[in-house]
Amino acid sequence: MDMIIRPRRLRSSEVLRKMVRETRMDKASLIYPIFVQEGKNLEDPIPSMEGQYRYSIDRMMFELERLEKAGVSSVILFGIPAQKDEMGSGAYDENGIVQKALREAKKRFPDLYYVTDVCMCEYTSHGHCGVLCGHEVENDETLKLLAKTALSHVEAGADMVAPSDMMDGRVRAIRECLDREGHKETPIMSYAVKYASAFYGPFREAAGSAPAFGDRKSYQMDYHNKKEGLKEALLDIEEGADIVMVKPAMSYLDVVSEVAKMVHVPVAAYSVSGEYAMVKAAAKMGWIEEEKIICEMAASVYRAGAGIYITYFAKELARFMDEGRIG
C-alpha cells in the first residue's frame, strides 16, 4: 500500500502513546464533594451513591485524612442541618453545620483547601434554593441571605466559596459583601452554567433537598440551551467570578468546550451524583468496567477544556494517576 501518513505509527507502544497524549491530568485539579451532618460518630451511607457517606464532623476528619493521603487536596463541603426552616437560617448561622465543620477541619488539616457550596436548598423546609414569595423564589431577597451565608463560611475558614443557587446577581452580591468585610482575596467559583437536571437526583436524596413543590426550572437553566450558558458564564465573570463551573459534566461537554474557548478564567466541571450513581449501578451489575469508565469520563472532561474536575471519584482518580493508568 502506498500510504505516507499512517496514524497508527503513533499508537504502537504505551510509551509512545503517553508521549503524544494530548490531555494530561493532575491530582491538583481534583475537588472532592463531602456531605457533613450534625451528630457524633456518624457515617451514614447514601443509598443511591454507594461509597459516599454523610459524615458527622468527627468522622469527616477521617475522610479528610484519607483524602490528604491520597493526594487530593481540595474539598467542597455540603451541609445537612438538623433542622430546616422557611428562611434557611441554618445556611448562615455561625454555628451551622458547615461553619462548625470548617473550623474543626481547618484546625486539624490546615493544608487542605476548603471550598463551600453556597445555597439555601439544603436548609429550607421547602427545598428551594432561595426564599419564597408565594410559590416563587424571590431573587433579590435571596441575594442578601446568600451573601450572608458566603461571609459566614469565609469567617469560619472557607478558602473559596461556590454559589450554586442560580439567582441573578449573586456573584456580585457575594463579592461586594466579602470585600466590604475585608475578604478581598477570597475567590469565588460560581456554578455559572448550572442546568435544571435530573442528574442531581441522588444528591437530593443525600441532602434531603428535593423541592417540596414544583421544580427548579425558574432559576436553573434549560438544558436545550448553550448560548445562554455562555451568557451566564460571561455575566458571572463580569460580576467577579474567579472560576466558572459547568454542571453536570457528562452530558454537557459541548458546553464545557464552548465556555472554555470563550472565557479567560479557569473552568471547572462537576460530575454530579447521577453520573456517579449510574457508573456504580452498572458496575455492580457487572455491565461495565468501573475503573476504566472512571478514567474515560475524567479524560473527556479535561479534553473538553475543563481545568478543574469536581468528582465523587476523586480518590480513585488520584490513585489511577499515581499508578500511571491515566493522566
Q: How many residues bind ligand PBG, per CB under 6 A?
A: 10
Query: Is the distance from CB of 63 to CB of 315 less than 8 angstroms?
Result: no
Q: How many CB atoms lie within 10 A of CB 140?
A: 12
Q: Which residues, numbered 78-107, are part of the site for ligand PBG (CB under 6 A)?
A: none
**Residue of 27, 247, 280, 315 marked active site:** 247
The C-alpha cell that represents 186 in the structure block: 477570597
- Residue 311 Cβ, how far from ligand PBG at the closest point, in Å? 9
Q: Which three cell numbers, joined as nine digits, stand for 218?
A: 425558574
106 is catalytic: no
Instruction: Choose among 225, 289, 219: nearest CA to 258.
Output: 225
Residue closest to 78 by CA, chosen among 107, 39, 29, 114:
114
The stretch near ligand PBG (CB under 6 A) out of 88-96, 114-122, 232-240, 301-309 is: 114-122
Q: Does 164 bind ligand PBG (CB under 6 A)?
A: yes
Cα-based distances in Å from 90 to 81, 118, 122, 129, 274: 6, 12, 9, 13, 26
121 binds ligand PBG (CB under 6 A): yes
- Map the footprint of ligand PBG across residues 248-277, applying CB under 6 A: 272-273
35 belongs to the binding site for ligand PBG (CB under 6 A): no
CB of 15 to ligand PBG, least distance (A): 37
Taking residues 185 to 224 in sequence order and writing x for each that binds ligand PBG by CB under 6 A, - otherwise, the string is ---------------x--xx--------------------
Tally of CB atoms within 10 A around 212 = 9
- Ranked by CB distance to ligand PBG, the top (closest) residue is 203
149 binds ligand PBG (CB under 6 A): no
Q: Is 184 a catalytic residue?
A: no
Whole-angstrom distance between the N-terminal and C-terminal Cα of the chain? 35
- For ligand PBG, the closer of residues 173 and 327 by Cβ is 173
Segment (H or E) for 193: strand 189-194
Return the axis-axis angle of helices 139-156 and 97-108, rounded to nearest 10°.
30
Residue 63 near ligand PBG by CB under 6 A:
no
What is the enclosing helix (H) or strand (E) of 247?
A: strand 243-247
Closest separation between CB of residue 273 and ligand PBG, Å?
A: 3
Which member of 194, 280, 284, 292 is catalytic?
A: 194
- Residue 232 makes contact with ligand PBG by CB under 6 A: no
Which residues contact residue 155 at a Cβ distance below 8 angstroms, ignoring those fewer than 6 apart? 94, 99, 181
The amino acid occupying position 292 is K
Active-site annotation, residues: 194, 247
List residues binding ligand PBG (CB under 6 A).
117, 119, 121, 129, 164, 200, 203-204, 272-273
